[in-house]
Homo-oligomer: A and B are copies of this chain.
Amino acid sequence: MRLTIILVDGFTALDIVGGYEVLANVPAIQVEFAAKQRGPVWADTRRLALSAFKSFEEIETTDILYVPGGPGVGPALEDDEVIETIRRLAMTSTWTVGICNGVELLGKAGLLGGKEVTTNWAVREKVATYGATVKHVRYVRDGKLVTGAGVSASIDASLYLAGLIAGKEFAKTVQLGIEYYPDPPFGNGTPDDAPDFAKKMVRQFEAEGTERIRSLTAPV
């Protein structure tokens, strides 16, 4: 199976690598990173770059389409080539995965009508405008669509998908391989349980995301 991970300028790295690290460890899956052009694509911090080794136009079909999020989603929503690529590949995929606010890109591509999804807690209302029912959960499946909540939820969503593809017992070996027995030092909970000051700070930070990625420059 081919797993195609969509890279857009200004992605959030853990949205991608959390899922990649799980799914790349399923032996049947071959990973490819695709972007508008081959070469390095810079993350939201402008301090990390992942290499795209295929351009969108080089890919005709895929088995697993993986759409991550980040501040780069704002500009990408207005980019016809990105949206058309997602729409086109989703028509061929066995599974379509959306993580964090990358789920908005699936919505813009017309893939969310009547679907149950999850997304980053801060963009639930936006995602609902695409006709989806947004669940307050960490991951959810609706048919061939698997969506994850924000950033680190890419790990849980992808372990769940690995279980669907390779079986629960194999997924448990992947969990051990990535030593995913989480123990957050400042407690667990849900985003809804987070302190109000934290919610306010993160909403502000995310609201400024597009402006921030435009103002920061990559080191090379």
State the majority secondary structure of interface residues on A: mixed
Chain B residues near A194 (CB-CB < 8 A): 172, 175-176
Per the CB 8 Å criterion, the residue count for chain A at the interface is 71
Q: Check: A195 CB closer than 8 A to any chain B CB.
A: yes
Knowing A151-B180, A176-B191, A176-B198, the reply to whether A32 touches B47 (Cβ < 8 A) is: yes
Q: How far apart sit A151 and B20, CA to CA, in the bound complex (Å)?
A: 13
Using CB atoms, name the residue of chain B closest to A149.
B179
Chain B residues near A32 (CB-CB < 8 A): 47, 219
Could you mark each residue 139-167 of chain A with 1 if its beta carbon is under 8 Å from any beta carbon of chain B, else 0? 10000000001111101100110010000
Most B C-beta atoms less than 10 A away, residue of A171, A193, A194: A194
Q: Are B155 and A152 in contact (CB under 8 A)?
A: yes
Q: Are A179 and B150 in contact (CB under 8 A)?
A: yes
Q: Check: A169 CB closer than 8 A to any chain B CB.
A: yes
6 shortest interchain CB distances as A-B pairs: A150-B179, A182-B182, A17-B17, A14-B21, A49-B51, A31-B47
A-B contacts, 10 of them at CB < 8 A, read A14-B17, A14-B178, A21-B151, A24-B47, A100-B179, A138-B182, A151-B180, A173-B202, A175-B184, A181-B191
